[in-house]
Amino acid sequence: MPGFGPDTVDQAEEECRALGGTIDDAALARMEGASPALQNALSNALSDGTWAPRHTSLGVAALLPAGRQALAEAPPKAEAGFRVFKWKVGVGAPDDELAILDDLLGALPSGSRLRLDANGSWNRRTASHWLDRAADRPIEFVEQPVAPTAKGADDTLLGLASDYPVPLALDESLVADGDVARWLDLGWKGFFVVKPLLLRNPKAVLDRLEKAGARVVFSSCLETALGARASLRLAFAWPGGAEALGFGVWPLFMDHRFDGPTLAPFIAVDDFERINPEALWSAVN
């Protein structure tokens, strides 16, 4: 999509032609300056024949809208079988949202876990307030409490992570392949939200995370079914913990052939393995 990433279709096509007839891991490693989307696609294509799932199905986190609207949407999602929920926070006034937190937790079935995603909208003080409140509640993690662009963001995130028992997750802080390595080097012990389609070489990044024993939450970046299939393959091959997937996003497209697996509390291997790349290719041509 023009403007969504740094590269263009023309650039990718030109680079594809320059590759010649074959591609292997060595050739991929030499492409460092090339289009990220092309590198991602080639990385996924190269692992096509060797993919082996470690799970038959994985849970999905249900997305809840900001504010009081979450109270209305949580019960039907719980009824449908979801047990991990993600609530968008940092949209309204912090005190108003904090006042809803216990009502929302009370509306979830016992054993449920709630993720809070602030999308980088808090300052350190507000984040501290929330983390204090979250400490004795079933909050799985708090995602991106402060923005990566905020002054002193790295220190703030590391400080909050060590001051409070609730785990933090990095999302907006991880946009390029090198960001994961940087945060591992900084000693980040919280979750890494990985959107495989944003990375040049998702396999290399995941190898790094695996070696570090990191906690990873696989997440959608609103890709088509083809991208969903590639991302979910990586999620299902991940040897670490089976965290609920951040893939509760579909339907997204006017033409439903481009949607990933139907929104449900679990995604099974067959749900994405039945996605046929050739059929999608024909549909856009």
- Are 78 and 113 spatial neighbours (Cβ–Cβ below 8 Å)? no
* Residue 243 C-beta: closest distance to Mg ion, Å: 14
Q: Which is nearer to Mg ion, 164 or 191 (CB)?
A: 191
Calpha distance 276→262 (Å, rounded): 15
The catalytic position among 77, 86, 88, 189 is 88
Nearer to Mg ion, 42 or 60 (CB): 60
* Among 77, 151, 189, 195, the one annotated catalytic: 195
Nearer to Mg ion, 143 or 177 (CB): 143
Alpha helices by DSSP H, listed for the chain, are: 9-19, 25-29, 36-46, 69-79, 94-107, 124-134, 153-163, 177-185, 202-211, 225-237, 269-273, 277-284
Range 166-225, binding Mg ion (CB under 5 A): 171
Q: Mark whether 151 is an active-site residue.
A: no
Give min distance, CB of 37 to Mg ion, in A. Answer: 21
Is the distance from CB of 193 to CB of 231 less than 8 angstroms?
Answer: no
Q: Check residue 243 for interaction with Mg ion (CB under 5 A).
A: no
**CA dist., res. 262 & res. 248, Å (int):** 9
**Of these, 59, 64, 85, 117, which contacts Mg ion (CB under 5 A)?**
117
What are the distances in angstroms from CA 67 to CA 72, 146, 214?
Answer: 10, 19, 31
For Mg ion, give the closer residue by CB, 117 or 140: 117
Query: In this chain, which residue has its C-beta nearest to Mg ion?
Result: 171
CB of 68 to Mg ion, least distance (A): 21
Total of chain residues touching Mg ion, rule CB under 5 A: 3
Between CA 112 and CA 104 the distance in angstroms is 11
Of 105, 115, 108, 103, the residue nearest 60 (C-alpha): 115
Window of 88-96, 110-118, 131-139, 266-274 that interacts with Mg ion by CB under 5 A: 110-118
Q: How many CA atoms lie less than 13 Å away from 28 in the CB half-sphere?
A: 20
| Residues catalogued as catalytic | 88, 195
**Residues near Mg ion, by CB under 5 A:** 117, 143, 171
